[in-house]
Amino acid sequence: MTKEVLLFVYFSTINIVSPYTLNKVEGDTSVYICTGKKAYSYHCNRGCRGLNKCQAEIKKVTLEYAKSIKRIPCKICY
């Protein structure tokens, strides 16, 4: 087998854990949102650089609430 094939097999068999999966594993369904008028996403952690431009309050809310107000996952931290 070539080195590329071995690497492919290795990486396709390990579990890659995203922050979203990590939240689900721990049972924590809280996310962070910016309460500004133009905000449209939710974030898995308060330190996400997607929240850097938030000029309103950053709130910790439940994932269900964030989805109910039509927020989508952040493209940076999810």
**pLDDT confidence of residue 10:** 56
Per-residue pLDDT reduced to its tens digit, 19-62: 444 444 345 689 999 999 999 999 999 999 999 999 999 999 99
**pLDDT confidence of residue 18:** 47
Helices (H), 1-78: 3-13, 19-26, 63-68
**pLDDT confidence of residue 53:** 92
> Which residues on neighbouring strands pair with residue 59, listed in sequence order?
33
Closest CA to 72 of 47, 49, 42, 50: 42
**pLDDT confidence of residue 78:** 87
- Joined together, the tokens standing for residue 47 give 């330190």
> Which residues on neighbouring strands pair with residue 33, listed in sequence order?
42, 59
Note whether 35 and 59 are within 8 A (CB).
Answer: yes
